[in-house]
Structure 1
């Protein structure tokens, strides 16, 4: 669907390694129906060639303020008047500083001063540069003037550092500039809805000291809770042990084991409209839990007898009335086949599949890439921050919820 139909977007590209993402951003903007004109700084041309952007946008790339041919008709003023929105991605620390102080020493900064169009910046820089007090002061001053800041994201950077400063992924930027009426979810899309989300791992005790668990950090579930809260829902978060701060306004139910998680879910399930099972629940637990710490003996092997844990999401999906039930499938192989089997076998309305063996995403990562699967569709979401991904997933899920008056 063309959500940016004929919207005139001036895409500014400043110098930084993230400039390579601007090619995909241009393609996605045009695919969404926008008319795109590209302006590049001299530094940007060192990272990506103007010919690439010209081929993708279908128009010459603008680079120079004092272009004799363009200036014959005051080209920079015409371009400033043409733009309905100015998106600068990536926006370097240097460009942000120059915009903050009103510089007009190249075409891009001049256009920002000469245009009445809204200006949106997608910062991209080293984490230390982003955290520097001067950068934060510059950003705050621009925000006070109405400039919208998109991001930055956190994660691994090209220099090897970890932290905030990555440019948002092109898909997230396109989603951020869609007209409000084109978004599936708004600040009230889940208003009046009760949402329950499970998150994190479970711990199945062996003795008072040891337990069986997994690598789940809970980050995806907590991000979904935040996104659902922002969409207006009453959110209940049933969480195993994690090192995360509970979003303010979310009703928090801490648990340890799978049996405790099931009990907490069933106790709060009344009038629940949406259930999202994002927790990594242990499949098995010990048959017996030792009352005292197990001691190491002389034997080489130790046998441990396990029994199946309850299938929480299957039990939720079997309730009457049944909430709209969304599961997760964290797999290391045959991702889509296993996810589809789980969708049908457990009676789910939707399942979100992710490959936890892929480097840089999944357990303990700040990023994820998933495929959202229903009985008759598959929608893939490329690697992006879990916070951005959570908002997008909540949008899709909210659009699928039945009306409260016909909820089954």
Structure 2
């Protein structure tokens, strides 16, 4: 599909317009999005991505349409998995709920810029060196293997953060949503800027996996760019919509591992078909089966549907959801949030989650009782709530 400069200009302008709209109408004023707000705008952005895909289908043909949808679905699934790490980062830096939107929008903008650079770099490599398909395929196969490992430790401390903490002046407390503040007469970074650095650094690592994946489904730079952009737009709203369900998707990483391995194999087969590496078949093409785009799209969608259904039906997933939510809300109630009204809302959510925990099968309740840290965290939350009630500092509707 040949894309004119005008179409590129209009597309980029439209995406920038959507980001600016998101900032000025939703993020500029710090607030906690309601479930309704998050649901409506998540639906709007998904709808825009689908409408755009039908436009590609009409003007570019069936193959291009299938390539776009395969790339968009894959990138969207990978972005949902990325939300797990964002959840850890925001919790680790104790970002107040009302200010999380600004951090997430920064992450999205940074990711768009970084991935655009990776996209054009990847396209240049592919056009110059056919062997790059072997490299991309290997990257995806290694990534798939890593996703199968235990995810108990999702670290929020990467090298960028360690360097920032060591060499830059940083404060331990927030000053609203300001990036810098004055402390002891000196201008220092706030944790708000530090968490943005963390999100940006993490996004670069994500791009190293996602860009080879989408190039395994289409080599059209325009489709790679638009599928990636539409997968990121609306990610902020999706975070607040899926916040309570993220921990429930316990098999998502396994599903993504299968998808990435599948695309990795597809890339290797394509590399063999286009082979010009001297030590493989004497530099001649290897005639192998190539996987069609429609088959790829069907496989990816099928795996993700099975993964989500299996996660939602899993008793282990249900137990993990309540445990993670209880731990997160207790930490928010105790150490992060300062708005009495929202603290009261969090506490009642915590009570609901504890009620769900008590209804779990005995084997799961026994495991929860063995988690000393969680048990002590919940006891402390109840004790602090009682103290606030006694002091008259709790919110009264």
State the TM-score, normalizing by the size of structure 2. 0.22
- Bigger strand fraction: 1
Asked which structure has the greater RCO (Cα within 8 Å, sep 6+), the reply is 2
State the TM-score, normalizing by the size of structure 1. 0.22
Report which of the two structures shows the higher radius of gyration computed on alpha carbons.
1
- Bigger helix fraction: 2
